Amino acid sequence: MASLFSPPLHRQRHQFIIDFVKRDKPKKVVDLGCSKCCLIKNLRFHREIELLVGVDINLAKVTKKMHELAPLSTEYLQPRCSPLSIELYQGSVTEKDARLRGFDLLTSVELIEHLPLADVERFSEVVFGYMTPVSVIISTPNSEFNPLLPGLTGFRHSDHKFEWTRAEFQSWAMKVCEEFGYEVQFTGVGQAPPVQQERVGFCSQIAVFQRRGGRLGLNVQSSDDPNQVFSYKLLYSVTYPSLRDNNILRRVLVCEVLYWAEKLKRGWMEKKTDGGDETYTLSKTLSKRRFGFENMHERLEPDMDRTCEEETKTSAGRCEGAASEDEEGVYEEAFWTDSGGQETKQRRYVSCVPLALLCSSCPKVSSLSGSLTNLRHLLLDEPSVTLTQDGSAVRLMDKEQEQEEADNDDLEDSGYTEMSHCSLGAVQEEDWEADL
Ligand code: SAM
C-alpha cells in the first residue's frame, strides 16, 4: 500500500499533525498509541512545544527506539529558548491517568480501530470526558477506500477490530461532541484519483475536535487531589537543555560576551596600530595578581598615594576597575612584577568593553540577559569573565600576556615561588586594604 501514495500515507498523517502544530502552537502535546514514537521524534523539533508525552500499551514497541529521543549534541550548542520535556508511558487509553489532563493537543493516529467497540466507548470517556484536551486529532482507516487498495481482502491489518465508513466515523464523533462539549471538522489524507475522490473519500479519515470555550474553562484537578489516578507506568523521561536553565543561559551568554568583547577589542587594537588614537591613555594599575600576592602598590608615578577613585578624576590616568559604561577602549597599563626579589616595571594592553556597549552591539547578548542589571548579575561570579571593579565593563588582557601570567601562576601553584614571596604577600594585603 505504501507505494500507492507519495509521500507514504503514514508520513502524510504525521505531516497533517505537524502542520496543525505549526498553526496552533500547542505547548503540551500527548500522542496516544505512540508505538515507536515516530511522531514524537518529529514533534520535538517544534520549539513551541514544552511537554511531549507518548502513551502505548505495548512495552516492546515504546522501548525499542525511545533512547533516540535523547537531545542531540546540537541541542547543547544551541539550546532552545523554551523548555522541552519528553515522557513516555506504558498504559491503556481506556484507563485514566491524572498526568495526562489539561493538554493543548491530543493525537491518536490509527489507534481506535485496534480497540474493541466497548473500549472505544471508554476511550471517548477518558479522552474527552477526563483528559479534556483543547484539541484532539483522531485518524482511522476509511473503509470506503478499501476497494481501491490492490489485493486487500478483509481489514487493512490483522489486529483491526473494525474499519469505519465516513458516516460511521462521523456519527461517533458527533456523539462525542454532544456529550463532552466539543466541535469537530472532518478531513483526511491519502487522496483517491480525482474522479473517485468524492465517492470514496480519503484513505485515512481524520477528525479534528476543538473543545467549546477553547483554552478557557478548563477544569483540571489540582495536583494534590487525593482522588487522582496514576495508572500509567513511566518508561522514559528526558529534559532538553534550554535557556530557562540558569546555568545553560549563563554558559551561552558568556560565550557571546567573550566573542563580542574580543571582536570590539580587535577593532580598537587595529585602530591603535593604524596610527594611534588619543583616547588610548596610559593607565596605571593598583592591583596585580602574581607570584602569590594579591596587589602590588602603584609605583609608576610620583603621586603614588592617590586612590583608584581619585585617579579616575584626573584626565590622563586610569586604573583597573575605573572604566564605566561610557569609557571604552584599549589602555596601556603599567604594573610591577617581582622576580627573585627584583621588582620590574612592565606594560600591557588592557581593554575595557562596557556592558552597555555589548548590549547595543550584540542583540543576542541583550535578549539573553534582558537588562544591563541582569547581564552584570549573570557575569559576576563567572570565572572566565573579568569585570571592572564597578562591574560596568568586561576587562580583557592581551591574550599572550594572559597566557604568560597563567604560566607563572602555574609555577606558583607548584610551590616554585612560594618561599621567596610568602612574607611579601602579607604586606601587600595591607596595601590593598588601604587603597580600597
Ligand atoms: N500512532 C502510530 C503512528 O502514527 O505511527 C501507529 C499506531 S499503531 C497502528 C497502533 C498502536 O496502538 C500500537 O502501537 C498499539 O500497541 C497501540 N494500542 C493498541 N491498543 C492500545 C490501548 N488500549 N492503549 C494504548 N495503546 C494501544
**How far is it, in rounded angstroms, from Cα 45 to Cα 412?**
49
The reported pLDDT for the residue numbered 289 is 29
Question: Tens digits of per-residue pLDDT, 143-162?
Answer: 999 999 999 999 999 999 99
Which three cell numbers mark 214?
477553547
Task: Let me know whether 75 and 99 are in one domain.
Answer: yes
Q: How many CB atoms lie within 10 A of CB 168?
A: 16
Q: How many CA atoms lie within 13 A of 248 on its CB side?
A: 16
The verdict on the CB of residue 58 being under 6 Å from ligand 1 is yes
Mean of pLDDT over the chain: 80
Give the domain-ending residue among 239, 269, 293: 239
CA of 157 to the centre of ligand 1 (A): 12
When comparing pLDDT for 301 and 103, which is higher?
103
Mean pLDDT computed over 306-317: 28
Residue with cell 491517568: 97
Task: Let me know whether 165 and 183 are in one domain.
Answer: yes
- State the total domains in the chain: 2
pLDDT of 221 > 50? The answer is: yes
Domain that holds residue 356: 246-412
The verdict on the CB of residue 94 being under 6 Å from ligand 1 is yes
Task: Let me know whether 314 and 188 are in one domain.
Answer: no
Task: Let me know whether 189 and 290 are in one domain.
Answer: no
Q: What is the largest CA-CA distance in the chain?
A: 103
Which three cell numbers mark 205?
479519515
Question: Tens digits of per-residue pLDDT, 169-200?
Answer: 999 999 999 999 999 999 999 999 999 999 99
Q: Where are the alpha helices (DSSP H) in 317-417?
A: 355-361, 363-369, 372-380, 399-413
CATH number of the domain at 177, please. 3.40.50.150
Q: How many CB atoms lie within 10 A of CB 205?
A: 26
Give the domain-ending residue among 181, 208, 239: 239
CA-closest candidate to residue 106, choices 11, 36, 32, 35: 32
**How far is it, in rounded angstroms, from Cα 415 to Cα 434?**
28
The verdict on the CB of residue 109 being under 6 Å from ligand 1 is yes
The protein residue with its alpha carbon nearest to ligand 1, atom 24, reads: 92
pLDDT confidence band for 281 (50 / 70 / 90): very low
Residue 1 placed within a domain: no
Give the domain-ending residue among 198, 220, 239: 239
Task: Let me know whether 254 and 393 are in one domain.
Answer: yes
The protein residue with its alpha carbon nearest to ligand 1, atom 23, reads: 92
Q: Which pTM does this prediction carry?
A: 0.76
Task: Let me know whether 14 and 134 are in one domain.
Answer: yes
CA of 344 to the centre of ligand 1 (A): 77
CA-closest candidate to residue 435, choices 315, 312, 331, 338: 312
Question: Tens digits of per-residue pLDDT, 322-334?
Answer: 444 446 677 777 6
Q: What is the DSSP letter of 324?
A: -
When comparing pLDDT for 423 and 122, which is higher?
122
The reported pLDDT for the residue numbered 341 is 73
Task: Let me know whether 95 and 134 are in one domain.
Answer: yes
Question: Tens digits of per-residue pLDDT, 365-380?
Answer: 999 999 999 999 999 9
Q: How many CB atoms lie within 10 A of CB 290?
A: 21
Task: Let me know whether 117 and 262 are in one domain.
Answer: no
The verdict on the CB of residue 97 being under 6 Å from ligand 1 is no
The protein residue with its alpha carbon nearest to ligand 1, atom 21, reads: 57
Please give the share of the chain, as a percent, with pLDDT higher than 90. Answer: 64
User: Which of 88-97, 308-317, 374-383, 412-421 is least confident?
Assistant: 308-317
